[in-house]
Chain A
Amino acid sequence: MEWDFKGGVPIYSQIIDEMTMRIASVAYEPGEKLPSVRDLAMDAGVNPNTMQKALAELERKGLVFSERTSGRFVTKEEKVLKALHEELARKYFEEFADKLRKIGMSGEDIAGAVKKWLEDIR
């Protein structure tokens, strides 16, 4: 897993996106212990304060939780993980629909095209 940061976006929000993706794609499994802030910061090549800030935000969102002495873990709550998948799917649909609307397709056109595409790849 490689970290790759873009220029004009705050690094902490890019870390949140990457970690969210890792959790959603079970690169980090439910209940798995996360590496320490310092190790994650070193791996990503970022400031430990920035990593800390991103993890605090993931905690606020309920995707990770801390145990006072033993570190941070990925949530085991299925509800939270299901909501995360729905949220991500919605985000991808939006990006995708946005592009198709730009080339002049209506909602109906898109629905039809998706259906056809799914049949084609089957």
Chain B
Amino acid sequence: MARIEINHVTKQFGSLTALDSVALKLEKGQIVGLLGPNGSGKTTLIKILNGLLQPTAGNVTINGMEPGVGTKRVVAYLPDRNALPDYMTASQLMDIYQDFFEDFDRQKAEAMVDDLGIDRRQAMKKMSKGTKEKLQLCLVMARQAEVYLLDEPIGGVDPATRDYILKTIISNYNEDAVVIISTHLISDVESVLDDVVFLKEGKVVLHQAADEIREEKGESVDKLFREVFKC
């Protein structure tokens, strides 16, 4: 059984088809890049994996379970926009995570928060956009989860922080976990990916190992992306 199974998932919003019969099996021990231009269905797919949206047809399982209480225990989710109460300080948010998630490693979160120079006593709403994103990522990555669903984790941060985040993902990597990173900033993440999934207009148009792409096509994943999604 694969860690994540997506069985012919279709999602329609009225007449718009956001996902069109997406089928994927993702094994543990992998870092997977979910890549596609804006509006290709990345966030919709991640929300379905989190049980925040229901598919119109098909189903998904994580460790054989449909999204619900059982999967939330093992899934660490970084949403594409802030979902935390922003009147709270970094310290209070760490308290919340500690209460909610058994696998939350408080020490690790504090170390990351300090490394990134985030003031633990500052309310989230007073933080800059980038700092808010950093804090959310610290909270998510400090969990010892089996599945990490990271929706645009590096979109709004500076290149130095980007390196730190990617290093955090690498150092956090373990054989039992699967990490899914959705992004369109491909050149920044491609060296950390095992597998690459291209989503185009709600369909999977490619699912291949990143190094295989470089070997077969003699070009980077970034370059291939620019070709496949040429406007």
Contacts and interface: CB of A to CB of B under 8 A. Distances in A.
Contacts of A49: 29-30, 194
Contacts of A48: 170, 173
A7 interface: yes
Interface residues of B, number: 24
Contact of B214 (A8, A41, A42): A8
A11 B30 CA distance: 16
A5 interface: yes
A49 B211 CA distance: 11
B192 A8 contact: no
A110 B68 CA distance: 71
B73 interface: no
B219 A47 contact: no
Contacts of A42: 167, 170-171
A118 interface: no
Interface of A: 5, 7-12, 38, 41-42, 44-50
Given A7-B220, A11-B210, A49-B29, 8 more contacts: A8-B219, A10-B211, A45-B167, A45-B191, A46-B170, A47-B192, A49-B194, A50-B194
26 contacts: A5-B191, A7-B222, A7-B223, A8-B214, A8-B217, A8-B218, A10-B211, A10-B212, A38-B170, A41-B170, A41-B173, A42-B167, A42-B170, A42-B171, A44-B191, A45-B167, A45-B191, A47-B170, A47-B173, A47-B191, A47-B192, A47-B194, A48-B170, A49-B29, A50-B194, A50-B211
